[in-house]
């Protein structure tokens, strides 16, 4: 079997490295950071997420997670009601009571997050001090931390960033003189994590730790000998916290598609001195499978136009993947925040002249989208139905966060997420119109 060619990390041109960015600061259409609980509570299997917020917060989490009435998930909401807002009850006493009841009922919990919300921040409830107080009370069995999931100034994926950044100060320190270790930072589906772990092992890269881990007692060590790869582009605060503890980030595109995954793995291979022939031999079978999977969707997606509304911060890596591996045309790529350092390798791979926007003024962006009439629009749930009603084909941005899309084996699945709405639209256009059926009212 001939090895597939290794794709260079940087393109020959500078792409959009120095491209101008339209910065907008108007009305936004995004979920809040509480949404991150939906995938985080599945990842850290003995953690519990207690939102300190309103009934609206509880409805949001339950609706987004699709929780059935008899399910027992590892998240809940401590409701701030009228008595709390009026100052008739001591919020800290109430919170202590709720936490005590929760831990008595769920003794398997080893890590408890107090998650701030818009209501708790409005009444200035100090969850940091509450976490310290409760952690001292329930140690060593339970560790209590806090982070903010408020959506006042953030987008929904920043909930994960805040959660992981809260964990960093408590990570164990690596021993002096220890060999270099790799940390993969960002919540990945278990199947994706297992695939990457196997590839790293075959490449001779290790020890390898994944952060967050599946169990609270398996937190990875960190120190000057730690090299870390970001698996998600929305982890700016986490990366800064790790670097403050001496860790060094390995610059790379993100592991989406064949090109991104190869370059991401190459960054780790270079740091650990893996020879090129070994890298080719280990990755060639997976690259060939992924390339074949993408070919099935290229005919459907090639030369189609796509417009990204800012939502998850995945927009730039996704745009690179769609453009370079599937031949799609980028009408506009909007993102909530553009971290130039973390996205430098991605920007260099975007086609020159791509329209980039940061932040949002939703009415202005809607006008640009309507004028462009793209083949597919990637946007939040709040915009999808109105745009569908105007005859546009849309893709829910949040689905790209909930679905395993990283790595070689998921490349075809990622392409299919964009092909599926176009296939649906084509089928609806071909379907014969059904005559209206009038029923007699008795």
Beta strands in 176-328 (DSSP E): 181-185, 208-211, 226-230, 248-249, 305-308
In b/e form, how buried is each residue of 256-278, taking b as 16+ CB within 10 angstroms? bbbbbbbbbbbbbbeebebeeee
Does 16 belong to an annotated binding site?
no
The bridge status of strand 305-308 relative to strand 376-379 is parallel
Nearest to 128 by CA among 150, 113, 106: 113
Between CA 33 and CA 193 the distance in angstroms is 23
Between CA 260 and CA 408 the distance in angstroms is 9
Give the DSSP per-residue string, 151-209.
-SS--TTHHHHHHHHHHGGGSPBPPTTPPPEEEEES---HHHHHHHHHHHHHTT--SEE
Task: For residue 8, count other CB atoms closer than 10 A to its CB.
Answer: 12
SS3 state of residue 330: strand
Nearest to 347 by CA among 23, 21, 5: 21
SS3 state of residue 210: strand
Give the angle 195-222-248 at the CA atoms, nearest 5°: 80
Does 91 belong to an annotated binding site?
no
- Token pair in block for residue 430: 């071909």
Does 379 belong to an annotated binding site?
no
Between CA 370 and CA 225 the distance in angstroms is 50
Count of all residues that appear for the chain in the document: 442
Left if phi > 0, otherwise alpha if psi is -120 to 50, otherwise beta: which for 344? alpha
Sheet holding 47-53, edge to edge: 75-79, 47-53, 111-116, 143-148
Using the 8-state DSSP alphabet, how is residue 219 labeled?
Answer: P
429 φ, ψ (degrees, to nearest 5):
-70, -30
Which residue ranges make up the annotated binding site?
A: 32, 57, 118
Which residue ranges make up the annotated binding site for [4Fe-4S] cluster?
A: 32, 57, 118
């Amino acid at each position: 079997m001939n090895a597939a060619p290794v794709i260079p990390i940087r393109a020959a041109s500078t792409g959009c490295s120095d491209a101008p960015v339209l910065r907008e600061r108007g009305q936004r259409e995004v979920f809040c950071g509480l949404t991150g609980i939906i995938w985080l509570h599945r990842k850290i299997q003995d953690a519990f997420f207690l939102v300190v917020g309103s009934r609206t917060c509880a409805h949001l989490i339950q609706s987004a997670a699709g929780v059935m009435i008899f399910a027992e998930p590892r998240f809940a909401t401590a409701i701030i009601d009228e008595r709390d807002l009026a100052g008739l009850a001591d919020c800290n006493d109430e919170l202590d009571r709720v936490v005590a009841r929760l831990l008595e009922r769920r003794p398997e919990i080893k890590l408890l997050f107090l998650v701030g919300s818009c209501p708790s921040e409005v009444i200035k409830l100090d969850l940091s001090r509450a976490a310290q107080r409760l952690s001292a009370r329930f140690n060593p069995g339970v560790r209590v931390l806090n982070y903010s999931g408020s959506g006042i100034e953030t987008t929904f994926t920043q909930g994960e960033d805040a959660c992981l950044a809260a964990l960093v100060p408590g990570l164990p320190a690596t021993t002096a003189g220890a060999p270099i270790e790799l940390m993969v930072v960002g919540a990945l589906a278990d199947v994706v994590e297992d695939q990457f772990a196997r590839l790293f092992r075959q490449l001779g890269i290790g020890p390898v730790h994944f952060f967050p881990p599946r169990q609270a007692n398996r937190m990875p060590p960190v120190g000057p000998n730690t090299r870390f790869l970001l698996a998600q582009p929305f982890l700016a605060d986490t990366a800064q916290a790790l670097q403050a503890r001496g860790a060094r980030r390995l610059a790379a595109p993100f592991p989406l598609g064949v090109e991104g995954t190869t370059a991401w793995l190459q960054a780790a291979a270079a740091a650990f001195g893996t020879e090129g022939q070994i890298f080719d031999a280990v990755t060639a079978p997976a690259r060939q499978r992924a390339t074949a999977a993408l070919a099935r969707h290229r005919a459907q997606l090639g030369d189609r136009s796509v417009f990204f509304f800012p939502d998850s911060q995945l927009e730039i890596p996704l745009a690179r993947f769609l453009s370079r591996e599937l031949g799609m045309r980028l009408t506009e790529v909007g993102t909530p925040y553009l971290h130039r350092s973390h996205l430098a390798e991605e920007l260099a791979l975007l086609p020159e002249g791509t329209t980039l926007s940061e932040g949002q003024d939703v009415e202005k962006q809607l006008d640009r989208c309507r004028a462009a009439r793209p083949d597919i629009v990637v946007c939040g749930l709040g915009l999808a139905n109105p745009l569908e009603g105007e005859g546009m084909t849309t893709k829910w941005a949040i689905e790209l966060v909930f679905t395993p899309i990283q790595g070689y084996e998921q490349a075809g699945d990622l392409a299919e997420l964009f092909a599926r709405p176009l296939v649906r639209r084509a089928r609806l256009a071909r379907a014969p119109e059904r005559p209206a059926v009038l029923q007699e009212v008795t």
